[in-house]
Structure 1
Amino acid sequence: MRYFSILSVGMAFLVILAFLSVSWGSTPIALVDVLGALEGAFGLSDEQESSPIDRIIVDLRAPRVLLSILVGAGLGIVGCLLQTVTRNDLADPFLFGLSSGAAAGAVLVITVTGDLLGVWTLPLAAFCGGMLAAFTVYVLIRRLGYQGAERLVLAGLAVSFFFTAITNYLVFSGDQRAAHSVLFWSLGGMGLARWDNLPLVMTGFGVLALFAGLRYRQCDALLGGEMTAASLGLNVNRFRLQVFLVCAFATAVFVSVSGVIGFVGLMVPHMARAFSGPLHGKSFILSALFGALLMMGSDLGARILLAPQELPIGIITSSIGAGFVFIMLLRRKFI
């Protein structure tokens, strides 16, 4: 009963936040105009001509809201999966070098090559960088011959440090005038949201959600430990590798459009398990819901705190995440 109450309240807040995100910003828009523009966009209105306000709502803010929901929900599920298979409460989507690889690819475009392929250059470079980092981690753990959780984490950290070094070199050796763009992208934001790149993010989220929906019982088996899971017929090493590859693909897709947004995947699974319990059938759903709420709320705050200037979302999520980790440490200290 408590789970369904939280789910219902969360969905209601999600709808409210969605309308606020469309109407609030550097240019406040009345809710009546928002509803009118959305009716026109979906063919529910007889008006043929669109005003500049309609363009702001339909072309800029609506895809931004959808991107926030998809990325936040996706990072929440990724964090829940990784914390389960690594048995590490501090595991998140960016622990395994994925963000560092994506950042290196994006910074290469910003500071060195430029937009060789038009508007798709930056997302494509970031995606390739993230997948290159994931492939490097995969090669490392295959060479080690053992895909244990500890080796996976250590391989990810090593790759993360390596690509961070590459990123820093590119920043200092490239075009210094692009430093602001590099900083903003490295801290994340929803400014690249467009209707034409949303299908890419939907694909990443769809693959992730399908995997989580089909394999949540295997995740439940891991709660009793690796030996218990193996006794139930689960090949733990193979399953852990499958989770890593799916999470790597999804995270690379998210980062390629939104940039590096930390702490969402770390915080959200803990919040979800507090209401859903340890089993993954419900915790995946709440992780997705809480991730979407956190991302949309952070994006809204990023747009209105210093309006008309926009803050990177990573500043807000990192601030919230630091407080969350402090609370976790204090609670465990006194337990």
Structure 2
Amino acid sequence: MTPSTPAAAAQRTALRQAALQTALIAALALALVVSVIVSAGTGQLGVAPQEVLGSLLHRIGIDWLPLPSHPTGDATLWAIRFPRVAMAVLVGAGLAVAGLLMQAIFGNPLAEPGVIGISSGAAVGAGLAIVFGLTVFGEWTTAVLAFAAGLGATLLVYAMSRADGRTEVVTLVLTGIAVNAIAGAAIAFLTFIGDTQSREQIVFWQLGSLAGSRWTQVAIVAPVVAVGLIAAYLSARKLDLLSLGERNARHLGVDVEALRIGMIFIVALLTGAAVAFAGIIAFVGLVIPHLMRMILGPAHLPLVTASALGGALLLTLADLAARTIVPNADMPIGMLTALVGGPFFFWLLRRTRKRAGGWG
């Protein structure tokens, strides 16, 4: 029997890794399809899974399955359920990929989009629109101001963390913490001066919700998420090289500063578009990318796909739970993701500390 050579062993390892990647991505995709169908059919007006599929197929001219038997079933699906489910898929995918990019450019598994002030800045923008009753952009005013303020906060953090033409990661994180603190104070002040209705709106917005999602909102978020995914795929190889260390990445031809700037901008776009319409939804950008990395390893090309599918699946299931846990009530979705993400964060913190041999 011929002894195994290092090259043959490496080839077998690569084949096993490729099979694992394919199996995981296929399982996530299948689970996402099932969760979308179940979520769309669940509510005060129940629609059977085959009727949900029948309604979807009917729109593309395929009449294999029955349409909803209830007179308003099809209209309910397309006016209320499908836009909400589509928004859950897009927001979940966007937040997860944003978290993956943050962890890649910072080289830290504890990094997530909120670190650079996007979410807190967006909350200030939304709070201003709510408290002062601004209607500059009509019904889109709150979303537009939230997106603009989130992007502005990110640019401020980036500008303040640059020195000598370079951006130091530690300075960026510390500046983000400071901006988050200032934004938190601004939100508290807006809550203080607002009337009862405004306070309730601010609190509910900060807890996150997909209630009231519409196709017009989906049409705005979808292109942003698509651009973010394309940018992540195109940058995957450079992110792999960056994971070897900044100095090694530079020696291998990666413009680390340009890569970091580009990825921060993509993260701001993805997170800003998500929170503008769904409010602040915590921990999706932390939990999903790290779980996918634990299973698949460090290669970013499959991680982008797996993280997008995992984030979409998590938020679809969280939204389903938000609509069904309490009868005839719509719980804040951000509260549910925090209940899942909080314990995971504690576990991750302890795991990271043990691997590092302590913080000191």
TM-score range, shorter chain: over 0.9
C-alpha distance in 2, partners of 1:109/1:283?
37
Aligned to 2:284: 264
- TM-score norm. by structure 1 comes to 0.93
Name the counterpart of 1:7.
25
- The Cα shift of 1:53 comes to 2.2
Tell me the distance in 2 between the aligned counterparts of 1:313 and 1:288: 18
Post-superposition offset of 1:39? 4.2
Are 1:109 and 1:125, in contact at CA under 8 Å, matched by a contact in 2? yes
Stretch moving more, 281-290 or 111-120:
111-120
What is the match of residue 35 of structure 1?
A: 53
Out of 101, 112, 129, the position equivalent to 1:92 is: 112
What is the percentage of aligned positions where both structures have the same residue?
Answer: 35
> How big is the shift at 1:25?
2.2
User: Is the Cα contact below 8 Å between 1:192 and 1:258 reproduced in 2?
Assistant: no
CA 1:70–1:329: 2 relative to 1, 3 Å: same
Return the match for 1:159 from 159, 167, 179. 179
Contact kept? 2:105, 2:242, Cα under 8 Å: yes
1:71 equivalent to 2:91? Answer yes
Deviation of residue 296 (structure 1)?
0.7
Secondary structure at the aligned position of 1:261 is classed as coil
Aligned counterpart in structure 1 of residue 192 of structure 2, from 147, 168, 172: 172
Contact 1:41 1:58 in 2 (8 A): no
CA distance in 2, matches of 1:200, 1:155: 30
Query: In structure 2, what is the Cα distance between the partners aligned to 1:249 and 1:330?
Result: 31
Q: CA RMSD in A?
A: 2.1
Distance 1:174 1:143 in 2: 39
Shift of residue 104, structure 1, vs aligned partner = 0.9
Partners in 2 of 1:150 and 1:130 — Cα distance? 21
What are the ranges of 5 or more consecutive residues in structure 2 without an aligned counterpart? 1-18, 356-360
- Which of these two proteins has the greater Rg computed from alpha carbons? 2
What TM-score, normalized to structure 2?
0.87
Moved more, 111-120 or 145-154: 111-120
Q: Identify which range, 179-188 or 10-19, moves more after superposition.
A: 179-188
Residues 28-58 of structure 1 show CA distances to partners (whole Å, capped at 9, x for unaligned) of 22334423433454454699xx943222210
For residues 221 and 52 of structure 1, the distance between their equivalents in structure 2, rounded to whole angstroms, comes to 54
**Letter of the 1:23 counterpart:** G
What amino acid does structure 1 have at the position aligned with 2:91?
A: V
| Aligned residue number for residue 287 of structure 1 | 307
Gaps of at least 5 residues in structure 1 are none
Report the CA distance shift for 1:5/1:196 in structure 2 as closer, same or farther (over 3 A): same
CA contact under 8 A between 1:38 and 1:58: conserved in structure 2?
Answer: no
Q: 1:228 to 1:182 in 2, by over 3 A?
A: same
Please state if 1:140 is matched with 2:140: no
Q: Distance in 1 between matches of 2:154 and 2:353?
A: 35
Residue aligning to 1:17: 35
Decide whether the 8 Å contact of 2:37 with 2:53 is kept in 1.
Answer: no
Tell me if the contact between 1:26 and 1:304 (Cα under 8 Å) persists in the aligned partners.
Answer: no
Q: SS where residue 167 of structure 2 aligns?
A: coil
Whether contact under 8 Å (1:192, 1:257) holds in the other structure is no
Task: Label 1:164 to 1:26 Cα distance change in 2 as closer, same or farther (>3 A).
Answer: farther
Structure 1 residue ranges, 4+ long, deviating more than 6 angstroms after superposition: none
Residue 7 of structure 2 corresponds to none
Deviations 1:198-243 (A, max 9, x none): 1211121122111111111110011111111111111212211111
Say if 2:240 and 2:299, in contact at 8 Å, map to a contact too. Answer: yes
Taking the aligned partners of 2:116 and 2:35, their CA distance within structure 1 comes to 31
Moved more, 12-21 or 50-59: 50-59
2:209 corresponds to which residue? Answer: 189
Pick the aligned partner of 2:81 from 61, 81, 93: 61
Aligned to 1:234: 254
SS in 1 for 2:213: coil
